[in-house]
Amino acid sequence: MSLPSLRLKANAERRLRAGHLWVYSNEVDVLATPLTAFQAGDQAILEAAGGKALGIVALSPNNLICARLISRDLKHPLDKSLLVHRINVALSLRERLFDAPCYRLVYGDSDLLPGLVVDRFGDHLVVQLASAAMERHKDAVVEALVQVLRPAGILFKNDSSARDAEGLERYVETAFGVMPEWVALEENGVKFEAPVQGGQKTGWFYDHRLNRARLAPYVKGRRVLDLFSYVGGWGVQAAAFGATEVMCVDGSALALDGVERNAALNGVAEKMTCVEGDVFEALKELKAAEERFDVVIADPPAFIKRKKDLKNGEAAYRRLNEAAMRLLTKDGILVSASCSMHLPEDDLQNILLSSARHLDRHIQLLERGGQGPDHPVHPAIAETRYIKSLTCRILPS
């Protein structure tokens, strides 16, 4: 394959040599190699200012991150062969980690496949393509996955906002075989079905697997409140781990149908109560009714999606966690989670401390959790680390 060149400014290659994979538009020597000469999804040979080749990149010429390193070996552009190799490498890690074939199989940059996410549900795969390059190679993605895994069905769940920045249309379609509305999975010994066609993201959130496993000693024999419950990833596991009663609150009827479905799968339906509506309003009503819980789980959607949302997002996390603390018994446990990449763990910890002090409560931080190893962190790319989970004990002062 004969590829054009993309030339960097002087010293702009240092970050890439140190392990990073992204090229920013202000690092490109646009006089030598104008970005306007490329289409989104094109591949090019990335060159240092002196002309030395650094590898092959996939381009998004209209974005601040205008290129992502695909391969440091010029013999291996993005094609089916590279996809098969990288998917096999990713699979070898997941098979070492998990007994059941239920996990995030491919996690973008961290698996050296920027713009590609694949979640595995046994014989079914859900794929998200977030870059123009992966969209252009979507047939090769399907062919590679079929070659490596022989799945019964592959779903393209390409309806995320990440595609907007790449100028890509949103769509959901079956790419191979047969894809049901709900697919089965197992997590921490608990059975679930996930709504892959109509649910959030890929239909399930594998990233909190280990944090949910940590619930077991805290919930046994206790009353639990699960906020932003989705289909019961936290709440149904709490019931399966021995909670006496679990209340799940979510604004989605589909999600709460999933809670009931998954509770029945595990024989814990009699323990579950579902409340449909705005979580903040539900918290007010529970406080007014003087309800109390031994454990409250607060795992909201990202309140901070962009840096400019930081102030309002931090205020939302403070409101949520303070309201959750108000519902705890005197020796209660709060599991506070965040999937906002722009909220550092220390900032979440400070929000919890200030919330506790505002209520004149003493807080003990018991456990810290992050994303599971099927969401490996790329050490050079801070954005690949986004999950925080803090388990706290809330006591009278």
Q: Which residues are tagged catalytic?
A: 339
- Is 25:57 a contact under the CB 8 Å cutoff? no
Residue type, 96: R
Q: What does residue 184 show for φ and ψ, rounded to 5 degrees?
A: -85, 150
Nearest to 136 by CA among 160, 112, 165, 166: 166
The pair of structure tokens assigned to 236 is: 């149904």
Cβ pair 98, 82 in contact under 8 A: no
Q: Give CA 343 to chain center in angstroms.
A: 14
Alpha helices in the chain (DSSP H): 14-17, 80-97, 132-136, 138-149, 209-213, 216-219, 235-240, 253-265, 279-288, 310-326, 345-358
- 223-227 β-sheet, strand order: 272-276, 245-250, 223-227, 293-298, 328-338, 388-396, 361-369
**For 186, how many CA atoms within 13 A lie in the half-sphere containing its CB?**
10
CA–CA distance, 28 with 21 (Å, rounded to integer): 14
Contacts of residue 46, Cβ cutoff 8 Å, sequence gap at least 6: 5, 6, 8, 16, 23, 53, 54, 55, 56, 57, 67, 69
- The crossing angle, in degrees rounded to 10, of helices 80-97 and 138-149 is 50
